[in-house]
Each structure stands twice: as C-alpha cells, then as structure tokens.
Amino acid sequence: MAIALIPSSAGFRPPTAVQDQTDARDDVVYSSLVIANGASNYGKMFVVPQGGNIQELKGSAVVATTQSHQKVHSELTTNLEKAGEFGSGLGDAAVRGISLCLETAPISNAGVYSTYGACPADVIDLGNKGYFQFKVGSKVMAGGPVGSFPSWAGPQGAISTTANVAMNGVLSNGNALLGGRRQRIPIQISRVDIVVGLLGFGNSSAFVGSGAAVAGGQSFLVWCLLNVLLGADVR
C-alpha cells in the first residue's frame, strides 16, 4: 500500500534499472541556503546540486561568508545531484513532512557566540519576517510563515547565566519533536518534476541579524528537510 503513495515514472527509468520494480524507502531529501545580516528579497533551495555554490542572502555591505562549509554544496547541505530534480539517484517521492532548520551559533564557556550560526535574535527576526513556499512544477504545494515549518533538528531552546553575568542561549525554529510540518495528504513528486523551496522576506523587509558588526554578517545555513517516501530504481 505504501507504494501507491509514490507517483510512477516508468517512462523515465534508465535502461540499466530493473523495469517495473521499485525500491521503496523512508528517507530525507534536503537543500539549504545561507542567510546573513541585511538579507532581503528571496532565495531558492533545491535548484543547485552538490558541487555548486550555496546561494547567500545578505545585505550589500556584507562580505561573502568565509565559512568553508557554507560556500559549496556537499552532503552536509544537499543530497541532490541534479539541479531542481530528484532524478534517478533519488527517484520518485511522496513528501510527508517539511521542516526548516537553522544552523545554531556555538557558545564558548565564557558565554561568547561564534561568528557564524544563528543566535536567538536571528531565529526570532527570521521568524518574524520570513516566509517559505514549496513548489513542484511551479505550483505552490505548501506555504506560510517560517514559523509554520517548525524545526526538525537541533536545540529547541535554552538560556543560562555566564560567569560575567551575561545571558546567553540557543533557540531553534520550533519544537524539534514535532517532526516538521506534517502533510496529511502527501505531496507527490516525480523524479523529473522541478522542485523549488523559496525562502523570502515579506513587504520589502530586511533581515536584521545579530552580526551587524561582523564582516560576514553572522552567516548561518537554513536547511529545508523533506520527510519523504522514496521510490528508487532497482538495480
């Protein structure tokens, strides 16, 4: 019965695959982009595969990120090997949950945040101003404020007093136990469908991050995680 949820792309199977056979599995398909102080307009996920440059949303006065893991797509930031499509590598899919996860800023024992990763103020400002749309074949299949796609990973929230009596903490986008925004009707995606995750800011607003004094604008990754049932080729 699980296979019935997955669309059939029999006409697009490569000749090296076993025809009319599907290998179903529960997995995650993901992509990401980088946010920094002054970000505005919108950016797109799932449009750049592994090996391509990660898109940055930042203000004009903010330099490009110097964090190597935020520059080029790797297994850390996406598992797409084809731009905009799941392709034969992943196969056909039924999306059962969507989550937006923010890279968290590490904190030293002295209570000092690192120069990358989202601080609590960053999470709050992105939640206040940001929106997300998930599109399949140019059609919006799910959308809403960033806060309506709760986090699926990372710390939920904590706050503490450091030795110098400063308050520091970490905060994620929602409750990590929720499993993201669950789709009661799974979103069906063919391996050749064009998939886009659009993260933007409403009404010409700009993201005001905690790293205004940092050259890289306190850059942090935002992942879109898709909880999917995949129908891959049998080989």
The pLDDT assigned to 107 comes to: 79
Cβ-Cβ contacts under 8 Å for 74 (sequence gap 6 or more): 50
Q: Is residue 192 part of a domain?
A: yes
Residue 152 CA from chain centroid, whole number: 10
The pLDDT assigned to 1 comes to: 41
Number of domains in the chain: 1
The pLDDT assigned to 79 comes to: 96
Q: Is residue 15 part of a domain?
A: no
Q: Is residue 37 part of a domain?
A: yes
Return the ∠ at Cα 95 (arms to 14 and 26), rounded to 5°.
70
Supply the range of the domain harboring residue 128.
31-234
Q: Is residue 23 part of a domain?
A: no
Ranges under pLDDT 70 in the chain: 1-4, 9-11, 13, 15-17, 20-21, 153-179
The pLDDT assigned to 147 comes to: 87
Q: Is residue 26 part of a domain?
A: no
The pLDDT assigned to 202 comes to: 86
The pLDDT assigned to 151 comes to: 80
